[in-house]
Each structure stands twice: as structure tokens, then as C-alpha cells.
């Protein structure tokens, strides 16, 4: 069966499903409760990008696991940085990233805080574990680029691409192999690193053909021109990593595009 869509309204809603399989869950405004009825479920909020505007999650009665990190808690709701986690059985588990402060049990809930984020965990959930921090790896030259695919395992890897602002094909590279990069891994791109020149330009109009991409962008505005006229121009500098679904190679693609008020478009 395909994914379901459950949408809340402007009030306090309860959205309930049997099990989560990439379903679209959006509680809308108010304090909204998302309930998973089935047992033996694992919900990883770090990967569940289709869940939005939820303030309370209730797990099944037994042997279910919720995984969170700070950003997934903060990003789960537009109205609150606090997530309440409920369950009736004592065989459920919570796994979270490091750095949370344990504030003890208050009114039947185990309270954890980290920055603006807060977790209120039903005291029935006693199996609370800390997940290891991501393993860091930096791609900065030919050697580290060629070794990148060998770093991935079942854990979380945080990969940084930082060539010091130098185009990576100037290093003799035309691809960076990220075989093994998974949904749980993180990719950080130093702005303007890895830009491609000449025939390797990124086609802005075929982006829909890419299944996955990560982008960072900065915009610059300025006014220039001869004394008798003024030109308004907009420059967008974009770094992208894109890879086809099932592909063995990820390619970093960068472009810089200018829009002029006389409808001329320049791209490099």
C-alpha cells in the first residue's frame, strides 16, 4: 500500500495511523498528537521529513523506538520547540543525540533540554539511550576525495567538502564518489567549492531529473551602469550536490547566474 496523507486543522488534532511508512502527517495549528498504533515500530524523526506541525507523539504499546536529534525536535513544529513523547508500555525506547540535559521527572514526564529544544518523555519509557555523534570527514584534496566512499558504515557520517574556494576540477577531479552515503548521513559544502567549468555546467532546467540534491545559496544585489542609465542586477551563487537514485557516484555541481534588467541572462 502507498503512503497516506493525514492533515489537521486549526485546532488541537489527533492523527492516528497503524504504522508509519513515509506517510504525510501535518497537524496544522494547535497542539497536535500523532499516534502510531502498531507495535514493534521504529520512527526516526531525523529522516521523517513528511511529519510536520506535531507537538505530541504516542508510540504503540510495546517494543517501539523513537529516534530524535535536536534539529528534528525543533523542526517538527512551527509553534513549539517542545516534543512530548507518550507510551503506555515500558518496553518502548527513545534514542537521542548527545548533549541533552537531564532535568529529572516532573509530573510523570522525564524532561530533557538542549538549547531551545525540550523533550517531555512519559516516565513509562525507561529505555533512554544516547546515539553516538556523527563521524566527521573532510574532503579537501584529491587524496581525501578518492577515499571518501570508504568511510561510510551503518553509523552517521558528517562529510564536509572544503577545497578552500578552489574549483575541484582544478584538482584533476570531475566526480566525487560518495557510494554508501545514506539518508542518515550529513553533507556540508563550503560555499563556492567544487564549481565546474565549461562543458560541465549544471542545466537549471533539468533539475527535476535529479532525484536528490543538496544546495547552499547566497544572493547578491547591486546597482551599476553608465551615468545616463542604471542597471539592476541579481547574482545567485549556488553549490549543489546531486545524484541519481541508485547511482554509484555523486557529483558536486555549482553555477553562478546573473539576471539583467534588459532580459539578458549570463551563466557560468
Are 124 and 40 in the same domain? yes
Question: Which distant-in-sequence residues (6+ apart) come within 8 Å of 166 by Cβ?
Answer: 193
CB 173 within 8 A of CB 142: yes
Provide the residue count of the chain. 268
My answer on whether 107 and 201 are in the same domain is no
- Give the single-character DSSP code of 150: G
Task: Fill in the DSSP letter of residue 206.
Answer: G
Specify the pTM: 0.60
Q: Tell me: do 228 and 186 sit in the same domain.
A: yes
Which residues form the domain of 79? 5-130
Is 154 found in the same domain as 220?
yes
- Side by side, the strands of the sheet bearing 212-224 are 212-224, 231-243, 251-260, 265-267
- Look at residue 54 in the predicted model and tell me its pLDDT: 97
Residues 145 and 90 reside in one and the same domain: no
Counted domains in the chain: 2
Q: Is 267 a residue whose pLDDT tops 60?
A: no
pLDDT beyond 90 at 124? yes
Flag whether pLDDT at 47 surpasses 50.
Answer: yes
Q: Are residues 104 and 173 in the same domain?
A: no
Kindly give, in sequence order, each residue whose CB lies less than 8 Å from that of residue 157, ignoring residues fewer than 6 positions away: 134, 135, 136, 137, 151, 181, 185, 186
Q: Are residues 166 and 227 in the same domain?
A: yes
Alpha helix (H) ranges present in the chain? 70-74, 142-146
The predicted-structure confidence for 237-256, as pLDDT tens digits, reads as follows 444 555 555 545 555 554 44
Same domain, 98 and 172: no
The verdict on 181 and 246 lying in the same domain is: yes
* Contact (CB, 8 A) for 125 and 154: no
- 118/152 same-domain check: no
Identify whether residues 101 and 187 lie together within a single domain.
no
Predicted confidence at residue 94, as pLDDT, reads 96
- pLDDT tens for residues 152-207? 887 788 888 787 767 666 777 766 777 777 777 777 766 555 444 333 333 333 33
Amino acid at each position: 500500500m502507498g503512503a497516506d496523507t493525514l492533515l489537521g486543522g486549526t485546532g488541537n488534532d489527533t492523527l492516528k495511523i497503524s504504522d508509519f511508512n513515509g506517510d504525510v502527517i501535518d497537524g496544522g495549528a494547535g497542539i497536535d498528537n500523532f499516534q502510531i498504533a502498531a507495535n514493534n515500530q521504529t520512527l526516526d524523526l531525523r529522516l521523517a521529513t513528511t511529519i510536520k506541525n506535531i507537538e505530541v507523539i504516542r508510540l504503540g504499546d510495546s517494543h517501539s523506538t523513537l529516534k530524535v536529534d535536536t534539529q528534528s525536535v525543533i523542526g517538527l513544529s512551527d509553534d513549539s520547540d517542545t516534543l512530548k513523547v507518550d507510551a503506555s508500555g515500558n518496553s518502548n525506547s527513545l534514542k537521542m543525540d548527545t548533549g541533552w540535559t537531564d532535568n529529572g521527572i516532573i509530573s510523570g514526564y522525564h524532561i530533557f533540554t538542549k538549547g531551545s529544544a525540550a523533550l517531555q518523555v512519559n516516565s513509562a519509557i525507561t529505555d533512554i539511550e544516547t546515539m553516538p555523534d556523527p563521524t566527521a570527514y573532510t574532503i579537501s584534496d584529491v587524496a581525501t576525495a578518492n577515499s571518501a566512499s570508504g568511510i561510510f558504515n551503518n553509523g552517521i557520517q558528517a562529510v564536509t567538502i572544503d577545497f578552500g574556494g578552489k574549483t575541484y576540477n582544478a584538482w584533476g577531479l570531475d566526480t566525487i564518489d560518495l557510494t554508501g552515503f545514506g539518508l542518515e548521513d550529513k553533507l556540508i559544502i563550503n560555499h563556492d567549492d567544487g564549481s565546474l567549468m565549461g562543458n560541465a555546467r549544471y542545466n537549471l532546467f533539468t533539475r527535476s531529473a535529479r532525484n536528490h540534491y543538496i544546495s547552499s545559496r547566497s544572493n547578491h544585489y547591486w546597482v551599476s551602469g553608465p551615468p545616463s542609465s542604471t542597471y539592476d542586477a541579481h547574482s545567485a551563487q549556488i553549490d549543489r550536490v546531486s545524484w541519481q537514485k541508485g547511482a554509484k557516484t555523486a557529483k558536486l555541481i555549482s553555477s553562478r547566474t546573473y539576471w539583467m534588467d534588459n532580459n539578458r541572462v549570463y551563466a557560468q
